[in-house]
Amino acid sequence: MGELGQKLEGRVALVSGSGRGIGRALALKLAGDGARVVVNDLDADPAQEVAEEIKAMGGEVAVCAGSVTEDGFADSFVKTAMDTWGSVDIIVNNAGYTWDSVIQKMTDEQFDAIIDVHLKAPFQILRAAAEPIRVLAKTEAEKGGVHTRKVVNISSISGLYGNSGQVNYSSAKASLIGLTRALAKEWGRYNVTVNCVAFGLIHTRMTQAIEGEAPPTLDIGGNEVRVGVQPHMLQMMEQIIPLGRGGTPEDAANAVYLFCIPESDYVSGQIVVAGGGLLI
CA–CA distance, 161 with 29 (Å, rounded to integer): 29
79 contact partners, CB below 8 Å, separation of at least 6: none
149 contact partners, CB below 8 Å, separation of at least 6: 88, 89, 90, 133, 137, 190, 191, 192, 193
Nearest CA to 253 among 12, 16, 2, 30? 30
Asked if the structure places residue 6 within a domain, the reply is: no
Instruction: Determine which of 3-7, 51-55, 146-150, 222-226 has the lowest per-residue pLDDT on average.
Output: 3-7
Predicted confidence (pLDDT) per residue in 176-232, tens digit: 999 999 999 999 999 999 999 999 999 886 665 556 556 666 767 667 776 655 565
For 231, other C-beta atoms within 10 Å of its C-beta total: 12
Nearest CA to 73 among 42, 51, 94? 42
Asked if the structure places residue 23 within a domain, the reply is: yes
Asked if the structure places residue 7 within a domain, the reply is: no
Asked if the structure places residue 89 within a domain, the reply is: yes
Asked if the structure places residue 240 within a domain, the reply is: yes
The DSSP H or E segment spanning 165 is none
Predicted confidence (pLDDT) per residue in 82-134, tens digit: 999 999 999 999 999 999 999 999 999 999 999 999 999 999 999 999 999 99
CA–CA distance, 39 with 14 (Å, rounded to integer): 7
CATH number of the CATH domain containing 91 = 3.40.50.720
Asked if the structure places residue 5 within a domain, the reply is: no
Type of residue numbered 276: G
So what's the pLDDT on residue 122?
A: 98
Axis-axis angle for helices 21-32, 249-258 (nearest 10): 50
Contact 131, 193 (CB under 8 A): no
Contact 104, 25 (CB under 8 A): no
Asked if the structure places residue 99 within a domain, the reply is: yes
Q: Show the domain range for 186.
A: 12-274
pLDDT averaged over the chain? 92
Domain count along the chain: 1
Predicted confidence (pLDDT) per residue in 232-257, tens digit: 566 778 888 999 999 999 999 999 99
Angle at Cα 155 formed by Cα 257 and Cα 124, nearest 5°? 90
More confident residue, 4 or 40: 40
The DSSP H or E segment spanning 146 is none
So what's the pLDDT on residue 213?
A: 58
So what's the pLDDT on residue 231?
A: 64
Nearest CA to 267 among 199, 200, 180? 180
The residues pairing with 16 across neighbouring beta strands, listed in sequence order, are none
The beta-strand segments (E) located in the chain are 12-15, 36-39, 61-63, 90-93, 149-156, 192-199, 217-220, 223-226, 271-274
Asked if the structure places residue 25 within a domain, the reply is: yes
Residues assigned a catalytic role: 169
pTM (2 decimals)? Answer: 0.91
CA–CA distance, 32 with 54 (Å, rounded to integer): 8
